[in-house]
Every structure is written in structure tokens, then in C-alpha cells.
Amino acid sequence: MRESIKVGRRPVLAALSLAGLTGAPLVARAQSPIVIKFSHVVAHDTPKGKASEFFAKKADELTKGKVKVEVYANSSLYKDKEEMEALQIGSVQMLAPSLAKFGPLGAKEFEVFDLPYIFDNRDELHKITTGPVGAKLFKKLEPRGVKGLAYWDNGFKVFSANRPLHAVTDYKGLKYRIQSSKVIEEEIRALGGIPQVIAFGETYQALQTGVVDATENPPSNFYTQKMHEVQKHLSLTNHGYLGYAVIVNKKFWDGLPADVRGQLEDAMHQATAYANLIAQDENDRALEEVKKSGKTEIYAPTAEERKALKKALVTVHEKMASRIGKETIQEVYKATGFDPAKL
């Protein structure tokens, strides 16, 4: 009887051993989730930071745990200048870079978003980001191994400096930190300023040490990066738009199961609605916090000052038309109703 028991156990032990070696246990183990590394360069408590966390949560819910989105904020995984290459080679799967980043990638049409005063308000902006012009721009990225998923708002930019910025002449001679963008370089030159490209994460130190005197940001970025500690004056110019495109490595995306792609698209749709909803609120709140700090004087330009600044900056449109493409600029003008000749 004992012998028969020993013999009877051998096939069972052998089967268990084989299962361990082959990774095919008798009881099915849970499938490992698909991991999406989502890298960005701003703080968790910015509109982009909050929206990326929202997307991660929705992706987990809608895929029932099949997808895990790991969010890396504050340049903790890749810096400004590194992240696009990291996406293209597959070291990271998802980014939400500012729209200015696509010019250096070769999709110069995206620099239309950098043109000063091309959008007067969010309604005009959304005619582009949710319409055929925005979709057409995303198609420009696909030959570069990048797929566009959504446009996320941040807000309209304001100028800050260590001296008051009222008249157009006040902007002259200052050194401005800017992100890498030929259009923004031309914008600063149109004001008589000196543009200097500096990574976003290094801006505070550059302002603190006097490497630059001034910069431009939506209020949420200005406040969360503590720039109010090192800039004495802020002018509510709302002269340009800063937004993001959520992009993904195209090869990775195309390789996902169709049902998972659909679920992630749904999650992204919800995250985009959330991002755009909170963007203005976050910027308004940031301005209130800057006021409370008492460290930065906030100035609202008069109608005359705003008109003079607009006239000075709209000259950039014509200067950059050959780079961005006259057709793209005219498509935006047509969709929004903007006419520089009427200024």
C-alpha cells in the first residue's frame, strides 16, 4: 500500500515541478498588467499633473486592472530635452509635452499655438484643438513614430520680471527664460528682449541667480514652481497660450489589443474633459495664492497697454509664416475669426 502511494505521488510531483519550470502552474495566475510609463515635467498639483493622475485612475478602472499607468512628475524620469527621444525609442510610452516641443521634432506646424495673441479666449482655442485643424496636426506626428491622443489646456501665459511691465518699452533689454521655440524667440525679440532657452525645471534657479530677469508662464506654473519667490512683478498680459499634447509611442499603441485601446481612449476622453475643466480654476487659484504671498505685485494692463502690446507681438505671425506654414496659420484665422489687419 505504501509503495503504491509513493509511486502515485511521483507523477503529481513531476507535474508540479514541470509547471514551475514552464511558468504554467496548475492554477492560472493573474496576468501581469500592461505598464504605461507617463512622464511629464511639471508638479503634481498643476492641471497637467492632476489630469495625468486622473487618467491613470480611469485607465485602471476601465481596463479592470489590465493597464497600470505609472506617472512620473517633475522631470523625475526624463528632463525637458530628453523625454521626446525617450518616447520615440520606447523607453517611456506616454508624454504630455508643451505644444512648442513639436517644432524641433520636425512638425513645425504645431508652432502655430505659440504665436502671440492668435487666440483671444478658450472658445477660440477649442475650435482648433477639438476640430479638424487639431486632428490634421496630430497626423503630422505619425511618420515620426508618435501618435497624438488629446490636447490638454494649461492656460494663457503672463509675463513676470523684477521690474514693472506696463508699457511695451518696459520689456526691452530683459533676459527672458523661454522654452525651446523659434516662435517664442521671435516674440521676445519683437519686444526688444533677449531670449534664453532654459529647461523648465531649472527656471527657478536661473531667476534666483540672475541668469535671466524674466519669463512667461500660465499662473499655475508660475505659482507651483515658486517663481513668485524670485520675481517681483507679474503682468496679466494673457499674450500666448500654453497647452499640451498627450502623445504615445505609436508602435506601442498599435500593438495593444483593440479592446484595451478603446478603453484607454475612453479614459483619455474623460481625463481631457477633466483637464480642461480644472485648468482655468487652477490658474485663478494660483493668482490668489500669489496675491496672498505678498511677494509679487500683480498688474492688469489697461486696454490701451494691451492693444499696444498686441500690435507689437502680432508682427511675429508674418515673420514666422514661412516656418509654420501660411496655410496652417490661415486655417486657424478662418476657424477663430482672427484678422490681424483689424488691429
Q: In this predicted structure, what is the pLDDT of residue 81? A: 85
Q: Which residues pair with 233 in a beta bridge?
A: 161, 297
Closest CA to 221 of 29, 41, 26, 8: 41
Indicate the DSSP class of residue 192.
Answer: T
Reported pTM? 0.84
- The DSSP bridge pattern shows strands 233-249 and 297-299 to be parallel
Q: In this predicted structure, what is the pLDDT of residue 329? A: 98
Can you read off the three cell numbers belonging to residue 68? 497600470
**Residue burial 110-126, b: 16+ Cβ < 10 Å; e: rest:** bbbbbbbbbbeebebbb
Do residues 149 and 233 make contact, with C-beta atoms less than 8 angstroms apart?
no
Using only C-alpha atoms, what is the Rg of the chain? Answer: 25
Write down the H helix ranges in the chain. Answer: 2-22, 47-62, 83-88, 102-105, 122-129, 132-139, 182-190, 203-209, 219-224, 250-254, 258-293, 303-319, 321-324, 326-336
CATH topology of domain 30-337: D-Maltodextrin-Binding Protein; domain 2 (3.40.190)
Q: Which residues pair with 297 in a beta bridge?
A: 233
Closest CA to 56 of 68, 74, 40: 68
Q: What mean pLDDT, rounded, does the chain reach?
A: 91
The angle at the Cα of 229, spanning 288 to 188, to the nearest 5 degrees, equals 90
Which residues are CB-neighbours of 199 under 8 A, at least 6 positions away? 41, 75, 79, 80, 81
Can you read off the three cell numbers belonging to residue 9? 505521488
Report the 10 Å Cβ neighbour count for 160. Answer: 28
Q: In this predicted structure, what is the pLDDT of residue 30? A: 56
pLDDT in tens, the chain (343 residues): 444 434 444 443 343 333 443 344 333 335 899 999 999 998 898 889 999 999 999 999 999 999 999 999 999 999 888 999 999 999 999 999 999 889 888 999 999 999 999 999 999 999 999 999 999 999 999 999 999 999 999 999 999 999 999 999 999 999 999 998 999 999 999 999 999 999 998 999 999 999 999 999 999 999 999 999 999 999 999 999 999 999 999 999 999 999 999 999 999 999 999 999 999 999 999 999 999 999 999 999 999 999 999 999 999 999 999 999 999 999 999 999 999 988 8
Do you know the residue count of the chain?
343
Do residues 211 and 175 make contact, with C-beta atoms less than 8 angstroms apart?
yes
Q: In this predicted structure, what is the pLDDT of residue 27? A: 37
